[in-house]
């Protein structure tokens, strides 16, 4: 079928709904016509290679749920000096079996203050410190050859205050002021502040920033140098839709929508999770399905589980393809510190109760902190004091709690609310750094065991796994950020450090930390790819083990059954799964075991396949 015919066919499928949604927000036929024109332009510019990928993905629309999916997230500059260097290191990723590469923000940004790249100065230009647009095109072409899908962040909520639009707004051009939410007096901002909570109450006095050049108050939800876009203006939506299609034509296959719950603001509300947000995401999904159906949406929704299903839409009218499994990360670390997997089990039960169209990317660590957003109602039910528990957790992973094996730092500590978040690499939080610093090989071995157990538990969850670059070789915290005055106040740079290639080379040296973690993760990744119980059609549920520290997931297909267990304590446990009968083979140890009384060594993990 000809290119124009395919576009027309896809547009015909969605045009009525797309028009209806657009009119709900904008009531502007001229702007809608301009949107359709932009879509046709980008369809015409899309390469034949990407068009072929579109057709392939339309034939397998749930490709991202396949059991061979293995992700990694990294800063290209820290990993290999930039995009050119990264292209030269792709053999390393292929050796890992990576099929999904999330590069942290690399679009043009102000320096030095850019919130790790989330303050964007130009959505259509690669930052010169990372590379060029030509480098990005060359990289995506090579990634496709290797079967690796590139994910980039789509910062829809705001721009940097040095973006061209912001600069022209500062110069007094009303058209560009209208692309933001700007107010001459504080009357309307004051009304917003009555119901709009602050995201980071310790970093700014409110949600608005005074701009002296404009003589106006500007809505800045996150940081004063990040100006929130005004999606009540159809020009903003059309321009950002153009950005999406531009990135898709650069070869980006996954767009992570940053801070998606915040993109629509309304007086008298908390300005989060509003219905108009879903209208916008639904329109973006339809635009992708018309112009570039190979591209999928991943939402960053750091909200309670009850808020999550709405971001997937419905099977008939879908929105995001997948979301981050933020709650799984938090509960995994809480289970490790508390030696108690009950909150983790409860959280996974909530996730498993969500509709079938809900799908998550699970991870232990990412570029950001660990925010201790646990289910407080469940904590109370389990007779756990939420605030005391939170304080214990962040002090434990700070390494100051007696007996802690962790080494980390606090982030955004608020002495009034006694809230704080935690930073550090997986290896450091699991005890590898402490043992190495103290020259204690036994401590290091236990740190490696915890590290692998945490990854095994994460890999057992429904969804696919995304590693944090460096975790595969046990990279520890880097405290050198404290010597840089531009970074010293942000403890997240503790785990945002340059990749250590010298240590990576040690992954082939028997007995090294790097080899033990690399090979341990490799074994898990191979089992995930090969076992049908990790496939997208498997039924997944938690299972009671009768032991607080032992977490269990049961994965089944019509012919196969697999039980994944993890002991979150440093003591031996005898787990009991009395309703399961028969014999099982531990795929890691080759032992034949029975679930009625199953020994779990300290921090042991087992994946047991039923054999009789």
Residue 254 phi, psi dihedral angles, 5° rounding = -135, 130
300 carries an active-site annotation? yes
Q: Residue 198 gets which letter from DSSP?
A: -
The label of the residue with tokens 């699970």 reads 362
Catalytic residue among 43, 300, 478, 490: 300
SS3 (DSSP) at 384 = coil
Residue 74: closest CA among 487, 476, 468, 492: 468
Q: For residue 169, how far is the Cα from the chain centroid? A: 32
SS3 (DSSP) at 268 = coil
Contact 116, 367 (CB under 8 A): yes
Contact 263, 281 (CB under 8 A): no
Which stretch of DSSP H or E encloses residue 175? helix 174-177
CA distance 447 to 451: 6
Please, what sign has the CA dihedral across residues 345, 351, 356, 357?
Answer: negative
| Residue 595 Cα distances to 96, 457, 560, 602, angstroms | 32, 18, 16, 18
CA distance 361 to 154: 17
CA distance 499 to 520: 20
First to last CA, the chain: 51
Catalytic residue among 54, 121, 253, 258: 258
Contact 323, 369 (CB under 8 A): no
CA dihedral of 397, 400, 401, 406, whole degrees rounded to 10: 40
16 carries an active-site annotation? no
DSSP-assigned beta bridge partners for residue 158: 228
Kindly list the catalytic residues.
Answer: 258, 300
């Amino acid at each position: 079928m000809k290119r124009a015919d395919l576009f027309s066919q896809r547009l015909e499928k969605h045009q009525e709904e797309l028009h209806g949604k657009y009119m709900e927000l904008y009531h502007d036929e001229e702007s809608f016509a301009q949107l359709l024109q932009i879509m046709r332009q980008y369809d015409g510019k899309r390469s034949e290679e990407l068009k072929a990928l579109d057709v392939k993905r339309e034939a397998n629309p749930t490709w991202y749920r396949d059991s061979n999916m293995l992700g990694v997230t990294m800063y290209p500059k820290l990993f290999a000096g930039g995009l050119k260097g990264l292209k030269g290191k792709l053999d390393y990723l292929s050796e890992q079996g990576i099929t999904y590469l999330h590069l942290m923000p690399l679009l043009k940004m102000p320096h030095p203050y850019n919130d790790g790249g989330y303050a964007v100065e130009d959505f259509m230009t690669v930052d010169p410190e990372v590379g060029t647009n030509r480098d990005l095109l060359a990289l995506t072409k090579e990634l496709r050859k290797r079967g690796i899908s590139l994910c980039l962040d789509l910062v829809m909520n705001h721009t940097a205050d040095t973006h061209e639009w912001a600069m022209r707004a500062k110069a007094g051009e009303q058209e560009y002021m209208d692309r933001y939410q700007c107010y001459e007096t504080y009357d309307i901002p004051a009304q917003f502040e009555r119901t709009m909570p602050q995201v980071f109450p310790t970093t700014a006095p409110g949600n608005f920033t005074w701009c002296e050049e404009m003589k106006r108050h500007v809505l800045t939800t996150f940081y004063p140098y990040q100006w929130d876009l005004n999606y009540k203006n159809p020009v903003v939506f059309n321009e950002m839709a153009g950005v999406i299609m531009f990135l898709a034509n650069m070869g980006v296959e996954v767009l992570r929508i940053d801070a998606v719950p915040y993109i629509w603001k309304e007086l008298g509300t908390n300005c989060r999770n509003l219905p108009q947000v879903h209208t916008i995401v639904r329109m973006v999904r339809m635009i992708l399905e018309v112009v570039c159906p190979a591209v999928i949406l991943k939402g960053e929704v750091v909200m309670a589980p009850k808020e999550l299903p709405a971001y997937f839409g419905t099977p008939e009218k879908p929105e995001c393809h997948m979301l981050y499994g933020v709650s799984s990360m938090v509960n995994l670390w809480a289970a490790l510190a508390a030696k108690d997997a009950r909150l983790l089990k409860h959280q996974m039960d909530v996730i498993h109760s969500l509709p079938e169209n809900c799908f998550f990317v699970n991870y232990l660590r990412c570029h950001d902190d660990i925010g201790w957003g646990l289910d407080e109602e469940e904590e109370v039910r389990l007779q756990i004091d939420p605030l005391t528990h939170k304080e214990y957790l962040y002090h434990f992973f700070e390494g100051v709690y007696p007996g802690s094996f962790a080494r980390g730092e606090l982030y955004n500590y608020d002495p009034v609310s006694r809230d704080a978040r935690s930073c550090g690499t997986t290896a450091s939080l699991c005890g590898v750094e402490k043992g190495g610093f103290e020259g204690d090989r036994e401590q290091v071995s236990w740190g490696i065991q915890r590290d692998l157990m945490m990854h095994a538990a994460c890999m057992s969850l429904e969804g696919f796994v995304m590693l944090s670059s460096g975790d595969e070789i046990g990279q520890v915290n880097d405290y050198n950020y404290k010597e840089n005055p531009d970074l010293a106040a942000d403890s997240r740079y503790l785990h945002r450090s340059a990749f250590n290639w010298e240590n990576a080379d040690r992954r082939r040296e028997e007995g090294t930390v790097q080899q033990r973690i690399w090979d341990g993760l490799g074994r898990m990744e191979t089992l995930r790819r090969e076992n049908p119980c990790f496939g997208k059609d498997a039924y997944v549920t938690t299972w009671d083990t009768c032991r607080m520290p032992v977490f269990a997931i049961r994965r089944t297909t019509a012919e196969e059954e697999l039980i994944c267990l993890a002991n979150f304590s440093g003591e031996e446990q005898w787990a009991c799964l009395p309703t399961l009968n028969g014999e099982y083979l531990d795929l890691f140890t080759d032992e034949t075991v029975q679930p009625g009384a199953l020994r779990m060594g300290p921090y042991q993990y087992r994946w047991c396949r039923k054999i009789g």
